[in-house]
Amino acid sequence: MPLFLKPVLHEKVWGGRRLEDFGYRLPNDHIGEAWAISAHPNGKCEIVNGPYAGHTLDQVWEDHRELFGDFPSKDFPLLVKMVDVQSPQSIQVHPDDAYAYENENGQYGKSESWYIIDAEPGAEIVYGVTSEDRDEAIDKIKQDDYEAVLNKVTVTPGEFYFIPAGTIHSIGAGVIAYETMQSSDVSYRIYDYDRDAEGLGRELNKEKALDVIETNQSLTAATTDVEFVENHKRTKLIANDFFTMVKWEISGTLNYMKPREFVLISVIDGGGEVVVDGEIYNVSKGSNFILTSHDLDTVFEGDFILLVSFL
């Protein structure tokens, strides 16, 4: 039986209301993130079906590791979000595993990825810096000369970007993105446009940021690794030591072969049914679920776009 999850909503100063497009009920006008599949302490998703309904994903991971092929990691390793960015995110950077383990109480570092679901014309992201000289880049950051150092990229729907730990980054206004990342909430904020939410400027972490910044990252954009399976389009977006991500564009019936013991799946458009071991589940835009190691026979029926993440 797949595990369907209820997203955890996070208010952000840069958020809006567009996550309603995914069927989520928003409590206010500044919801920036829906943690769609998460066992992280800062956003534990609740399972909404089957014998584990009412349990959080971290509880099931801890108590029923057999559902995940007895995967040896102490913590659930991945985190999936949908983000609605209506004003620019802060300029930030994430540490790698070694730095986070030493400086953030043993947490994971954070390499992440963005699939651009929607973007207004001219919408931009910040991806890395313009200088390959680390000392030069750091000097400009210390002087708050961000226009001279930030590498800005115009984005369009359907593009994909991998953001390794150490890469300065930010999503600009007018973008809805799907993020797959290591299960970490460690961010070092460098600049935040002098915004504040309650009369106080949001905390910056420039000293730690300068420790972890890398300047030799090359832009990783949309892949061309495409194949057709049973007449359905399968695009491998990325495969590395942190995660693999695949986009499926399905119209009709797909007999799905699970590539690992457990996979994380989100419906980002359309809808239909997923039939798992003979049981039928209706899915629609905004549905998020995990196929476990016990889910042996899976068929997708309908017209939809899936994003699938796994280790």
Residue numbers annotated as active site: 189
What is the distance between the alpha carbons of residues 232 and 303, in angstroms, rounded to a whole number? 10
23 phi-psi bin (left φ>0, alpha ψ -120 to 50, beta other): left
What is the distance between the alpha carbons of residues 212 and 215, in angstroms, rounded to a whole number? 10
The answer to whether residues 100 and 184 touch, using CB atoms and an 8 Å cutoff, is: yes
Element at 269 (helix H, strand E): strand 263-276
What is the distance between the alpha carbons of residues 15 and 17, in angstroms, rounded to a whole number? 7
Q: What is the residue type of 15?
A: G
300 to each of 65, 225, 247, 307, how far by Cα in Å? 26, 22, 14, 13
What is the distance between the alpha carbons of residues 56 and 165, in angstroms, rounded to a whole number? 28
The answer to whether residues 127 and 161 touch, using CB atoms and an 8 Å cutoff, is: yes
